Amino acid sequence: MIVSQYFQQAPTRMLLSWSNLPSSVYYYKSTGGKPGVKASSHTWKQDGDWVENQVVIEQIKDILSQEFCCYGYENVTGELRKLDYYINKKKVYRLMDEHNLLLGKVIRTSGKRKFVQHRKIQASYPMEYLCLDIKYVYVHGEKRNFFLLTIIDVFSRKIVDQIFQKSIKQIDVFNAFRRINNVYGIKGVTIRNDNGSQFIANNVKQYLRKAEANQEFTHIATPEENSYIEAFHSIIQREVIDRYEFSGYFDAKQTLLAHTIWYNTRRYHKAIKMTPNEKWNQHIHITNQKRDEQNLVKKQHETGGDSNQDYQYLRQNLNPKTSNYYTTISTNVSK
């Protein structure tokens, strides 16, 4: 190095200037530690408390110890924020990485049909869009696959119906939609599915047409057009199928039922930043309001009269926090 070679003939600063070398680089001495600012040892809470990181780590372990819980660092961050921790996802990643708590990365690559017009669904309230599909579930005790049909609400990610049995036939899909119609109502709901024989059956299409639901089909070999149900399948693969060996059909059925309850009521969903039931309950009044408005418009067309006064009364007196739900004929039933 030129500085060390000529430091006796000229001042060090002059040599550094000639060699165009910053003094900070020349005088730098490595300490052998990690570069950058030292990591924090405590974490703030929203009430002003200052807790040690070990407390946060124990909290993370409690979160991950839940049955079916298979969270990555971003979902854990959401859970910690619900517990009033003021923490970002980078710190959560560091803490989980240091204690081997990170989730392992797994890579898994009769009539006219109305095909989807838009690849991604933009839902703005519950029961606007439903998605459904079938997944294989291997039962070790019986050495065979069973079939899991799941129907989810796109806006809230809530599972509204699920079937698990040896085979899924068109009558099973028909009955699932009939149950959903009786409980929630499907008039005006857009239902997206692939081109499976159970979904394109005439009985299913006729029932949905009679119920005034809009059925649309994804294009061949394009699972990305039904991405919401595919995302749920990846969740159930990671949280249930990869972690359990089932002794028989009823063992698998009970486990999947328990997971469905946990998913709807307890599982934090990163995309909606809460649980599906919380999202559903916060916005169900929008669905109620839209259905009542549609019924008033239909009534006006049928009677030929002016229902504007009824409409104004409805808008002024509708309780936005109601927990009641209306079917397609406005019959008030419990959720």
What burial letters (b/e) apply to 58-73, b meaning 16+ CB within 10 Å?
Answer: ebbeebbeeebbbbbb
Q: How confident is the model at residue 317 (pLDDT cuts 50, 70, 90)?
A: low
Mean pLDDT across the stretch 154-178?
A: 94
Half-sphere exposure of 106 (CA within 13 A, CB side): 11
Cα(122)–Cα(106) distance, integer angstroms: 28
- pLDDT higher than threshold 60 for residue 197: yes
Mean pLDDT across the stretch 242-258?
A: 94
How many whole angstroms from its chain centre is CA 219? Answer: 23
Mean pLDDT across the stretch 45-50?
A: 88
The distance in angstroms from the start CA to the end CA of the chain is: 79
* CATH class of the domain at 129-265: alpha beta
**In terms of pLDDT, which residue wins out, 179 or 123?**
179
**Percent of residues, the chain, with pLDDT higher than 70:** 83
Mean pLDDT across the stretch 265-285?
A: 93
Mean pLDDT across the stretch 184-195?
A: 92
Q: How confident is the model at residue 304 (pLDDT cuts 50, 70, 90)?
A: low
pLDDT at position 157 is 94
**In terms of pLDDT, which residue wins out, 117 or 179?**
179
- pLDDT higher than threshold 90 for residue 34: no
Query: Residue 326: which residues within 8 A CB-CB, separation 6 or more?
Result: 185, 288, 291, 292, 332, 333
User: Domain extents for the chain?
Assistant: 42-98, 129-265, 276-333
pLDDT at position 328 is 38
Q: How confident is the model at residue 283 (pLDDT cuts 50, 70, 90)?
A: very high
Q: If residue 291 lies in a helix (H) or strand (E), which one and from where to where?
A: helix 276-303
pLDDT at position 40 is 87
Cα(157)–Cα(33) distance, integer angstroms: 46
**In terms of pLDDT, which residue wins out, 62 or 105?**
62
Average pLDDT, the chain: 83
pLDDT at position 233 is 94
What residues does 162 pair with on adjacent strands?
Answer: 150
213-224: pLDDT as tens digits: 999 998 888 888
Residue that is written with structure tokens 């418009």 in the block: 297
